[in-house]
Amino acid sequence: MFKFNFNQSDQDLPQVLKKTEPTTKIDWLESKVHSIPKESESRDFPSLNIPISKDLTLKVIQSHEISAQLIESNDNLTSVLGESDLQPGVYEGGLKIWECSEDLAKYLERDLPADLSSFRVLELGCGAALPGLVCLRRGAHVDFQDYNPEVLDHVTIPNYLLNRDKSRDINSTFLSGDWDAVRASLTKDSCTYDLILASETIYNPDNYAKLIRTFRDLLSKDSKSSVLLAAKTHYFGVGGGTRQFEEELTRTGDWDIQNVSKTHDGVQREIIRISRK
């Protein structure tokens, strides 16, 4: 049986099973809010530890817990899992813990204030949600978005339950679906965020415009609000990367961009801070 590799960071570039032609119409998923099942509240999920710093270790659900359920839950996913890391409009890679997710989690652990109880945070393309969980552990209100419903149900929510502080009254929202659909849903509810997190979300240049629209509509207009985006400098063979995304941001004329971290071991990775002009 195919097993998901949650116990190690993937150091390879995303592998696309099918390259979607620009003229191909993709039926992007609509926005959906996910609730935490009552039976999951008291469930003891088998987990493994991901060290973020000497003071913080996050727990993530073990892969064998979800592999059989997930493969059985969606025929479209079954056809691509084990063969590729993503297929546009079908599976967007949320079942792996990517390097940049750990990079961003470690950066947040070093950089953020100890008390984030006044912060509203949104993690886009969250998957295992390591960056969002760092903020959660510091008291922030964190909402989580991933394209695939199965990722939220079988990965994000269990990880949230494994790491939340039950003594704090923090109610997160979990949303699946395409960024444009999620953006419209949150905008309708007048939601804005002090901090938006994203890691490994810019491998496909076709999605840059909708990601930037999401930043535009959901980032608070407070001068201290920002987006932190972690990504590879270039996604060889896939397209996209930090320079190309920065060019698209610059073209709009609405954003200030600052490189706050760069990693040279293996494939070059960066974290950029994006804020309103």
Tokens 């076709």 belong to residue: 206
Tell whether 23 is covered by a domain.
no
Domain hosting 183: range is 32-276
Residue 18 is assigned to a structural domain of this protein: no
- Angle 65-70-72 (CA atoms, 0-180°, nearest 5)? 120
Instruction: For residue 25, tell me if it sits in a domain.
Output: no
**14 part of a folded domain:** no
Strand order of the β-sheet with 269-276 is 32-34, 174-176, 141-146, 120-124, 195-199, 226-232, 269-276, 255-263
Q: What is the CATH number of the domain that holds 65?
A: 3.40.50.150
Q: Would 22 be classed as within a structural domain? A: no
In a domain, 236, yes or no: yes
Could you read off the pLDDT tens digit of each residue along the chain, which spans 277 residues? Answer: 333 444 444 445 554 434 455 556 788 999 999 999 888 887 888 899 999 999 999 999 987 666 656 666 654 555 555 555 566 666 666 678 889 999 999 999 999 999 999 999 999 999 999 999 999 999 999 999 999 998 999 899 999 999 998 878 778 999 999 999 999 999 999 999 999 999 999 999 999 999 999 999 999 999 999 999 999 999 987 778 999 999 999 999 999 999 999 998 888 999 999 999 9
Residue 222 lies in a domain: yes
Give the count of domains, the chain.
Answer: 1
- pTM (two decimals): 0.88
Could you give the angle at which helices 99-111 and 130-137 cross, rounded to 10 degrees?
20
**Dihedral angle computed from the Cα positions of residues 149, 181, 112 and 92, in that order, rounded to the nearest 10 degrees:** 50
Whether 49 is in a domain gets the answer yes
